[in-house]
Structure formats: C-alpha cells, structure tokens
Structure 1
Amino acid sequence: MLRKVDLQNLSLANELYTVQQKSYTIEAELIGFLDIPPLKETFDELLSCQEEFIGYFIDEKLVGAVSYSLEDETVHICRLIVDPAHFRKGIAQKLLAHLQNEGSPERMIVSTGKDNHPAISLYLKNGFKLIRDIEAAPGFYLSLFEKR
C-alpha cells in the first residue's frame, strides 16, 4: 500500500531512516563509493529535509519510499529506496509509477551512480533517457536521467 510519509511522526521517520541506511549501504557497495550523501545524513537532517515522501507499506511496515521535490513543473526524484529484504518485488517500480501518474508531471529528473545497473535499468524501462554523466567526486560518476 502506498501513502504519504509524515516526517513529524517520529516512529515512521525512524523506519524511513532505517530503510534508507540499509538501501544506500547496498548501493554504496554496488557502485564502490561509500560517501553517498544519504548514508552520511543524520536522523535530524532527514527530519529537516524539504522533500515529500511516499512510502510503500506491507502489513503497516514501511519497506520502501520515494522522495521528491517539485520545481517549475519538474519533479526532482531525490531518493528511491527499498529495504533489501524486499528487493525484486516490484516496490521501486510501484513507487516510480505512482510519481509518474500523480499529476502527470511535465518533466522528471533523477540521478544514480553510473554503476548502479539495477536503478539504471529501472529508469530506462520507465522511459527515462540518459542526459549525461557527471563526475560528482574524483573518479565517481553519477548518471543523470530525464523523462518528458
């Protein structure tokens, strides 16, 4: 089930933080870059972020989430996370589809590590186009995707 995540609910925010840490730890290992900003983010920093969160729940437990910001008819996907215990169940796909279908945004932008092949496959499968690769840190590249 999909629903908005209210960061004022500290118990739910803690679940989100835990899923984020698990998910980005796997991504960091996958791409060989341990300095992913969400891994360094504190719980208080998460609480103060200005992003909107949609969570995916199984039996009232948060197992995935997508966060975004909206600017000039463009949805900026900030995070797309799934608890590793629930990988390959279509949760990321459902979260992404929800964003694409809600309000039919004019444009969507997302980035991921250039070596994060599962995420890249997901975005390409959903009609995103690779715009460019950006060197975010020495020797580490992000791939920027766009969908219109």
Structure 2
Amino acid sequence: MLIAVISPVEDSLGAELLALQRAAYAIEAELIGDDRIPPLHESLEELRARPLQWLGAVDEDGRLAGAVAWEETGDEVDVNRLIVHPGALRRGIGRALVKEVLVRAGARRVVVATGRDNAPARRLYEGLGFVLAGEVEVIPGLWIANYARPA
C-alpha cells in the first residue's frame, strides 16, 4: 500500500474520492443509527471547495483504499475525515493514514471527532493515544465524541 498526497480537484480522483467517502460514511451512519453525517451528503463541488489537505492509501491494484483529510494551524491539526473502502476495513489502512498525519503534525496537538456510537473509530483513535475530550450533541439526536492527542 502506498500513501501519497492526493487532491479531489483532480478530475477522476475527485469522483473516486467522493464515492469512497459516501461508502465509508454510509457504514458509520449504520453504526451510529443516523445518516445526518454532513460528508455523507456532500457534493463533488462541496468536497473540492473545502480547504483540506489529503492523503490517500492506494492498493496494489492502483485503487483508492482509504483517505484522510485535515486542516491545520500553527498549533493544531484537525483530522476532518478518515475514510476507508468498505472492502478494505480491518486491514490497518485507517491506522496507517492517521499515523502519517501524526508524523506530519510534529509537535502540534491533534484533534478528531467521530460518531459517539462508532466503536471501531473510537478504538482506533484511543489506540493511537487520543484522549476523549467530551461528547456533544451537534444536532438533536446526533452525538459526536471529540478526541485530542496532546502535543
């Protein structure tokens, strides 16, 4: 598996990334019992307009198996989304992508949020040293768990 910088602005990659994002967030929606996850309903234009940096995990067949996107400041890196192809779950792709973001974050604090009831994602982040910072009901009935990994 190759991890490389990617961009949704690239013609064919944008559509592939959006399809992967929808498939991944459909699984999270099932896990948390709620499909109101904003990236699940994002258009290609909205995806491309977001000021995110992206890394993609490309499998041996050249297909996008996963991706991670983040925003950063001088003090903090905010992991905005982590997506893994449903057929590639439990193979360490998400872990490898987050670890690469942690390397790039250097000494900065790293934060991430996931659905409160998304147990696999919570185990992943906790296993990488993230600490629960709180749970928030972002819209009625939709809860997220916020995590932080100190600098």
> What TM-score, normalized to structure 1?
0.97
In the TM superposition, 1:78-93 aligns within 5 A as: 78-93=80-95
- Specify the alignment match of 2:31 in structure 1: 30
Runs of 5+ unmatched residues, structure 2: none
Please tell me whether the aligned partners of residues 52 and 69 of structure 1 are also in contact (alpha carbons under 8 angstroms): yes
Q: Aligned-pair distance for 1:8?
A: 2.4
C-alpha separation in 1, matches of 2:107 and 2:64? 25
Runs of 5+ unmatched residues, structure 1: none
- Specify the alignment match of 2:47 in structure 1: 46
User: Structure 1: which 4+ aligned runs deviate by more than 3 Å?
Assistant: none
Please tell me whether the aligned partners of residues 75 and 108 of structure 1 are also in contact (alpha carbons under 8 angstroms): yes
Percent identity between the two aligned chains? 35
C-alpha separation in 2, matches of 1:51 and 1:84? 23
Please tell me whether the aligned partners of residues 112 and 144 of structure 1 are also in contact (alpha carbons under 8 angstroms): yes
Find the partner of 2:66 among 64, 67, 85: 64
In the TM superposition, 1:1-148 aligns within 5 A as: 1-58=2-59, 59-148=61-150
> What TM-score, normalized to structure 2?
0.95
C-alpha separation in 1, matches of 2:130 and 2:30? 24
Please tell me whether the aligned partners of residues 75 and 105 of structure 1 are also in contact (alpha carbons under 8 angstroms): no
Moved more, 121-130 or 56-65: 56-65
Q: Aligned-pair distance for 1:103?
A: 4.4
Moved more, 40-49 or 114-123: 40-49
Question: 1:124-147, CA deviations, whole angstroms, 9 ceiling, x for partnerless residues?
Answer: 000000000001111221000000
Question: 1:71-93, CA deviations, whole angstroms, 9 ceiling, x for partnerless residues?
Answer: 23200000000000000110000
Question: 1:53-99, CA deviations, whole angstroms, 9 ceiling, x for partnerless residues?
Answer: 10000122111000000023200000000000000110000001101
C-alpha separation in 1, matches of 2:39 and 2:132? 23
SS class of match (1:39): helix
